[in-house]
Structure 1
Amino acid sequence: MISKAFPSTVEPRVTVTLTSLIELAGFAVRIKLHHPQFRARQSGGYVSRFKGRGMEFEEARIYQAGDDIRSIDWRVTARTGTTHTKVFREEREKPVFISVDNRAAMHFATRGVFKSVLAAKLAGLLAWTAQQQGDRIGGQLFTEQFCCELKPQNGRPAVLRFLDLLVKGTCGASAAIVSLEQVLARLTHHARPGSLVYVISDFRGLDAKAEIHLAKLSEHCDVVLVFVYDALEKALPTYQGRYRFTDQVREVVIDSADSPRLQAYQQHFADRQQRLEQLAKKPGLALIQCSTTDDPLACLR
């Protein structure tokens, strides 16, 4: 198991540096975000059809035969007494909004890298890819204590600002957060309609209320859930013995001979995984699953 007792030098399996995230720019050319057949990894045969570029309101004009009645501008219609419809134009760039989970449970791994490190690398690759495609980059970082957002902006400075947030793990203006539901509720307000939204997390605390916010978000945005996990969370070792786990503060001992507890542990993970897979079958949602031993570039490709 990787220990969180940090050595004197930076351990790349445990923490990320700004330099390491900047170096990901060279690998981002191998990824394409707006693919018309984005298939959910390990989640069945569901195909999410992403709409591509977002649409932005341009003007209101008098309604014409054949116009979509859902685009009627009721405010202008009421004010003028004549039916008007909204006209939209294609945005030159699509906002890409990346939400990253940095809660305590993300600072864990038994092999590979910490989940938090994997999440930061995935986010970095996505941010550089968006920048190279000419899209605007914004993001969200959350822990049990705070949640903060960066408004989508253009160019390399926007990426560097986001990467700096990932490395520092905190920001000046933030809101106190205690649940995943509250984080996703904030996300629905900060991600503009037409955005491509990535949520990178182990999704601990995902419940019916949190799912409502994801469903609401997917009505106006394309949402990709990136499920990050460690192999030990999926299944405990099969050989007999007592296993001690610690975060240097708390300690848990699990006896592999305790079959009921072992089955309950593994079922808890399976339930969360299945919940995500079922959620990803809904329109506007897709799922990527990535373990701490996986190559983040391969996961996104």
Structure 2
Amino acid sequence: MADAKNAFAQFFEKIQNVFKQPTPQTAQPVAFGEAGLNMKSIIGKLRRYEIRIRKAVNTSMQGDARSVFKGSGLEFDDVRQYQYGDDVRTVNWNVSAKGHGVYVNTYKEEKEQNIFIILDVSESQQVGHKGKQKLDTGKELAGVLTLSAIREASSVGILAFSDQKEAYVRPDKGSKQASQIIKVLYRLVPDSKKTDLTKAIQQAMRLIKRKSVIILISDFIDQNYETALKGMSQKHDLICLHLSDQREQRFPALGIVPILDKETGKKTWVNTNSDAFRKKFMNQFAQKQEELEKICHQYQADYVGIEAGEDFVPKLVKLFKVRKTKRK
């Protein structure tokens, strides 16, 4: 146990040491929270999240596979006769055509997994109090999932997007890779305020050459991305982390006030005391959430709704436990 703890500490020390190296002059550090935090503090916070997740998952799933991302990379193993409840998409039609019954392919988990994170950094993510905006939560999620992947000796990469590619780190392994991704995340200043989910998904599909766990972190405030999302879920093991802010679900009664669309700059005056407005506002969010969740369920992608600023660890723990159970 002591050796394991020492190895764990050495792993994060390697990451922190990389942050002590000089960074390019083009890097633009941004504040994290109201007072701003240095990279050592950020790594420490992400490390505490990662420890909580791993401890909770491994404690309840003793003897199970090592990976919290279980079920990501699958490779062909064998064929067997069809049994009630098998996914029809695994039917091996060539073998079944020989007339000896219906056969399905079986798979085993690859020893090496590829994790790819897609993070929405558009202006709509910057809603809420400083340090507790959707973007802050998104960065924390991306950071802690990066650490989890690296701890499992998996390759991990990231694409940050708005309506264009804002940053990209190609998948790789090791503590230097983790530090590179986290450094890019927390020093990134997006060039564009807009969102194009379809374009981001298409870019990711071109960049990712092998079946991977893809973690899409966004508020999904966009239109006509459903087809692209379906295509990604059919080719990869997709996890959608849906970020929201409490004001998008429960708009406060403030009288007649201007509402600013941060991506377009358009300002609209609305009566927030109006029951009709408040009902329409809440219904729009609920409908969008329901539609996204339905798409994920239909195409066997995982869906988790996360509110900005909340303690997301319990939800991630639940997600990983479910993934381990349903992919046994």
Structure 1 and Structure 2 fold alike (TM over 0.5): yes
| Correspondent of 1:225 among 216, 226, 240 | 240
Alpha-carbon distance in 2 for matches of 1:269, 1:15:
31
User: Which residue does 2:157 correspond to in 1?
Assistant: 138
**1:268-279 equivalent positions in 2, closer than 5 A:** 268-279=284-295
1:271 CA displacement: 1.9
- Alpha-carbon offset, residue 236 of structure 1: 1.1
User: 249, 262, 265: which is aligned to 2:281?
Assistant: 265
> Any gaps of 5 or more consecutive residues in structure 2?
1-29, 58-68, 82-90, 96-106, 318-328
Distance 1:65 1:289 in 2: 37
Counterpart in the other structure of 1:185: 202
Q: Which residue does the alignment assign to 1:287? A: 303
1:127 counterpart residue number: 146
Matches within 5 A, 1:203-242: 203-207=220-224, 210-237=225-252, 239=253, 241-242=255-256
Paired with 2:235 and 2:175, the residues of 1 have a C-alpha distance of 26
Structure 2 contact 133–309 (Cα < 8 Å) conserved:
no
TM-score by length of 1: 0.70
Whose helix fraction is larger, Structure 1's or Structure 2's? 2
Q: Separation in 1 of the partners of 2:49 and 2:171?
A: 22
Tell me which residue corresponds to 1:161: 180
Matched to 1:182, the amino acid is: K
Q: 2: CA distance between counterparts of 1:214 and 1:17? A: 36
TM-score w.r.t. length of structure 2: 0.65
2:118 touches 2:216 (CA, 8 Å); kept in 1? Answer: yes
Q: Please report how far the alpha carbon of residue 284 of structure 1 lies from its aligned counterpart in structure 2 after TM superposition.
A: 3.2
1:151 matched to 2:170? The reply is yes
Shift of 1:277: 1.2
Tell me the CA shift for residue 159 of structure 1: 1.1
Once the two structures are TM-superposed, the CA of residue 252 in structure 1 deviates from its matched residue by 4.6
Write the distance in 2 (CA, Å) between the matches of 1:182 and 1:250.
Answer: 23
In 2, the alpha carbon distance for the partners of 1:298 and 1:104 equals: 27
Amino acid at match of 1:255: N
Letter in 2 for 1:127: T
SS across alignment from 1:109: coil
1:31 aligned to 2:53?
yes
Conserved? CA contact 1:146–1:175, under 8 Å: no
Change in CA separation of 1:92 and 1:177 when aligned onto 2, cut-off 3 Å: farther
Deviation, 1:169, is: 1.7
1:95–1:194 CA contact under 8 A, matched in 2: yes
**Residue 39 of structure 2 is aligned to residue 18 of structure 1:** yes
Percent identity between the aligned chains?
20
Question: How many matched pairs?
Answer: 253
Aligned counterparts of 2:172 and 2:230: Cα–Cα separation in 1? 25
AA at the equivalent of 1:121? E
Instruction: Give the secondary structure class of the aligned counterpart of 2:235.
Output: coil
- AA aligned to 1:122 is L
For residues 238-259 of structure 1, give each alpha carbon's deviation from its aligned partner in whole angstroms, at most 9, with x where no partner exists.
Answer: x462345556x76554322333
Aligned equivalent of 1:201: 218
Contact 1:113 1:293 in 2 (8 A): yes
Q: Residue in 1 aligned with 2:125?
A: 106
Structure 1 contact 108–115 (Cα < 8 Å) conserved: yes
CA distance in 2, matches of 1:27, 1:284: 27
SS in 1 for 2:239: strand
Q: Which runs of 5+ in 1 are unaligned?
A: 1-8, 36-49, 58-63, 73-87
SS in 2 for 1:93: coil
Report the equivalent of 1:83.
none
Moved more, 155-164 or 290-299: 290-299
Output one character per residue of 1:20-78: Cα deviation in whole Å (capped at 9) or x when no partner.
Answer: 4322124313335xx8xxxxxxxxxxxxxx86252469xxxxxx999x85799xxxxxx
Which amino acid is 1:195 matched to? S
Q: 1:20 to 1:251 in 2, by over 3 A?
A: farther
Within-5 A mapping of 1:91-102: 91-102=110-121
